[in-house]
Amino acid sequence: MATVAGLNLALLVAMKQQIPEHEVGFSSVKLRMNYAPLTYILVLFVLALIGQLNPVALFFSLICFHSSWVYLRYFKTHDLTGARGDSSDAFAFATLFPDPIRPFVVIVSNVLHLVCRPVLSLLLPSRNSAPVANGGKQDLVNSITQERASSVDAERRRQRAMKTLDERLAGSQSDSAV
């Protein structure tokens, strides 16, 4: 159960990154993908409290949750641009939590980021640390790659916004027709 729960949680984090506004329906209950990872963690926590899930499995699942977010945020390379990670504000760690507790998560995650920044700087090469070769052509390639990554992220966000707007318009038109 521990392995499956961790893998499910990692998959939910990836789905939250790709389709955050998508709603999954279970009969009359609908859940947005933004809240799916935390909802799953709460279900695992309740199962651990009532003795149906080993606390080690809960701990493993929390590690998978955080590891999958760290991988997607800092390490995953994009096929088209070669850029690393998803630095958009829509995928910040605090966005994995509901609005009422988000300010507390922001404080804790900022402190942890400051503590872990030296380790991340060793693991992730800086975009400005590329050697100047061929008369500065490498800097030009890096800037073009960053521009492409920004445009790909902007296009992805625009597509999400258009889809959400279309869904809301369709819902309001169907409500007004009734």
Enter the pTM of the model.
0.66
pLDDT tens-digit map of 129-141: 444 444 444 444 4
SS3 per-residue string spanning 6-64? HHHHHHHHHHHHHCCCCEEEECCEEEEHHHHHHHHHHHHHHHHHCCCCCHHHHHHHHHH
pLDDT in tens, 28-67: 888 888 888 898 999 999 999 999 988 898 999 999 998 9
Overall size of the chain counted in residues? 178
